[in-house]
Structure 1
Amino acid sequence: MPARRAARLAPVIEMAERAEQDAARALGQAQQQLGQAQGQLANLQRYLQDYQQQWLTQGRQGVSGQWLVNYQNFLGQLESAINQQQRTVTWYQENLEKLRERWRQCHARLQGLSKLVERYQREARMAMDKREQKLLDEFSQRLAGRPRQD
């Protein structure tokens, strides 16, 4: 009976394995997306630093009013892009945590099911060992009850 219970759980185990694999795949993709978003943010921040350095260099030589207006407009756009990219990075981080938790749940479910199947298999082996021992005992008793033929 325990062996049949373990066999009946096979499709459930397969579904749990697929769910864990899907969760792991989604987690990997989310990690990759987060890395890309962080890379883009770092690029924008570097570009801002370079642009500010250009301001310092150009400012020492003197700038026109139009150059200053253009600089400030571009700087505002760049800072806006950095803020948007930071929000994007935050979203990817939150999404990554959700997907990580989903994977943990799938993994824990799979482990729990695997342990249950192992227990059923162990119980089935113990029941089979008991039946074999009982048969051996009965066989030994029959042999002991027979008269010897020398």
Structure 2
Amino acid sequence: MAQSRAARLAPVVDMAEKAEKTAAQRLGYFQGQVRLAENKLADLDGFRLEYLERWVERGREGVSGQWLLGYQGFLAQLGTAIDQQRQSLAWHQNNLDKARDGWQQAYARVEGLRKLVQRYIDEARQLEDKREQKLLDELSQRLPRESPYR
């Protein structure tokens, strides 16, 4: 009976395992998206630093007002791009957190079902062992007893 309970749970376990696999793939996807967003942000920060160093070098030589306005405009655009990339990174990190939570829940469900199935299997094995022991006991009682003093 317990064995059949374990067998009846097999499709449920399969579905839970598929859901966990899908959740793990989703988690991996969002981990990749976070890495890409972090790399883009690092590139933009590096580019801004490089541009600021150029400004210092160019400033030593002297610059025109028009060049300075263009430069400040470009730095403002670069700052906006960096802010947008930070927002993008935060969005991807939020998705990653949700995906991680979803995977953890799916994983816990699979593990819980596996433990339940194993418990059913163990119970079935114990019942079978008890039946065998009872049968052996009955058979041993039916056997003619030989006295060692004959």
TM-score bracket for the superposition, by shorter chain length: over 0.9
- Structure 2 residue runs of 5 or longer lacking an equivalent are none
Aligned to 2:48: 48
Measure the CA separation in 2 of the matches of 1:111 and 1:144.
Answer: 51
Measure the CA separation in 1 of the matches of 2:108 and 2:95.
Answer: 20
Moved segments of 4+, more than 3 Å: none
1:144 is displaced (CA, Å) by: 3.1
Deviation track 1:58-88 (CA, whole Å, cap 9, x = no partner) reads: 0111111110111011011100000000000
- Give the number of aligned pairs: 146
The 3-state SS of whatever aligns with 1:144 is coil
Q: Percent of counterpart pairs with the same letter?
A: 54
Measure the CA separation in 1 of the matches of 2:10 and 2:145.
Answer: 46
Deviation track 1:21-65 (CA, whole Å, cap 9, x = no partner) reads: 111111111111100110000000000000011111101111111
1:20 is displaced (CA, Å) by: 0.8
Q: TM-score by structure 2 length?
A: 0.94
Aligned to 2:107: 107
- Structure 1 residue runs of 5 or longer lacking an equivalent are none
Matched ranges for 1:1-150 at <5 A? 1-144=1-144
Measure the CA separation in 2 of the matches of 1:144 and 1:89.
Answer: 83
Measure the CA separation in 2 of the matches of 1:30 and 1:98.
Answer: 10
